[in-house]
Amino acid sequence: MSRPAKSPLDAFDHKILAILQRDNTTPQRTIGEAVGLSAPAVQRRIKRMTEDGVIRANVAVLDSAALGQSITIFVEVEVISETAKQIEQAKSQFAAAPEIQQCYYVTGEADFILVIVVPSMADYEALTRRLFFSNNNVKRFRTFVAMDRVKVGLSVPIER
The residue within the footprint of DNA, chosen from 6, 7, 51, 91 (CB under 7 A), is 7
- Binding residues for DNA, rule CB under 7 A, total 17
The alpha carbon dihedral of 29, 30, 34, 35 has a sign of negative
The residue within the footprint of DNA, chosen from 15, 17, 45, 103 (CB under 7 A), is 45
- Contact call for residue 68 and a copy of itself (CB under 8 A): yes
Distance of CA 148 to the CA centre of its chain: 19
Q: Look up residue 75 and give its DSSP letter.
A: E
**How far apart are alpha carbons 140 and 110 in whole angstroms?**
9
The residue within the footprint of DNA, chosen from 15, 17, 28, 69 (CB under 7 A), is 28
The residue within the footprint of DNA, chosen from 4, 6, 11, 47 (CB under 7 A), is 47
Task: Please report, for residues 13, 31, 58, 85, 107, the alpha-carbon distance to residue 43 in angstroms, rounded to integers and kept in the order given.
Answer: 11, 10, 15, 43, 40
**How far apart are alpha carbons 40 and 32 in whole angstroms?**
9
State the Cα angle at 126 between 120 and 129, rounded to 5°. Answer: 145
User: Which range touches DNA (CB under 7 A), out of 27-35, 53-61, 90-98, 143-151?
Assistant: 27-35
- Point out which residues bind a copy of itself (CB under 8 A): 6, 9, 14, 17, 20-25, 52-64, 66-69, 72, 74, 76, 91, 94-95, 98-110, 112-113, 117-118, 142-159
Residues that bind DNA (CB under 7 A): 7, 12, 27-29, 32, 36-41, 43-47
